[in-house]
Amino acid sequence: MELDTVIREVQTALGITADGKPGPITWEAIHEHIIGQHALSVQPVEVTGGTVDPRSEACIITLHPRVQPYARTLVQRAAAAGITIEIISGLRTYDEQTALYAQGRSKPGSKVTNASAGYSNHNFGLAFDIGVWQSGKYLDDSPLYKAVATIGIDLGLEWGGNWKSIQDQPHYQLRPDWAKDMPESTMLAELRRRKDSGLAFYA
């Protein structure tokens, strides 16, 4: 077996991007898996300000104030790398999530989500989805999603393409510090509790 194949298999098993290159994220994941704690604590880079295209802005404005600059910076940094992206989805209310969950279940169409109301980070404004455009054409499947992920992960965002169960390459979320080592389900339960109690999500 070739060395890069070995590295890819290890990366896949760790649930990180399988690019065959053993960089800091790979070593962090190996360390965490074997030693059981974070080692390098990959520092989030500083996010920039300013506004982006109107379609993205319409979604960004629905996001938690803490998440908004991350979404804008991702659009700007992708553009700087020659990749055109827009933010195409932001906050989804519980009602909107319920309607989406019904699709392919009690309503016609194919299933689009496994999350019912309160079980998606979109319901708290902590998550957003991107679309990639090339020559004015929307691409729903492209290696460019992975290229953007490198930028997003550098910013400190969590990428849906790294999920072990259902991979969601357009999806990004900003995990609160208190949820750093929590399973997704535990974090969502705490977010629902905080929402019900009117408590801050990031405090």
Name the residues that contact Zn ion, by CB under 5 A. Answer: 129, 171
Which is nearer to Zn ion, 17 or 128 (by Cβ)? 128
Q: Smallest distance from the beta carbon of 171 to Zn ion, in angstroms?
A: 3
Q: Is 66 helix (H, G, I), strand (E, B) or coil?
A: coil
Give the Cα separation of 162 and 146 in Å (integer): 10
CB of 166 or CB of 199, closer to Zn ion? 166
Number of DSSP helices (H) and strands (E) in the chain, helices first: 7, 5
Contact 88, 119 (CB under 8 A): no
- Closer to Zn ion by CB, 26 or 144: give it: 144
Give the count of alpha carbons within 13 A of 15, CB side only. 13
Smaller CB separation from Zn ion, 77 or 171? 171
Nearest approach in angstroms of CB 92 to Zn ion is 9
C-alpha–C-alpha distance, residues 5 and 8, integer Å: 5
DSSP summary character for residue 160: G
Q: Taking the complex as a whole, how short is the minimal distance between the CB of residue 89 and Zn ion, in angstroms?
A: 6
Closest distance to Zn ion from the beta carbon of 173 (Å): 7
Tokens of 41: 């604590």
Cα-Cα-Cα-Cα torsion 27, 29, 35, 36, nearest 10 degrees, comes to 160
CB of 129 to Zn ion, least distance (A): 4
Cβ closer to Zn ion: 26 or 170? 170
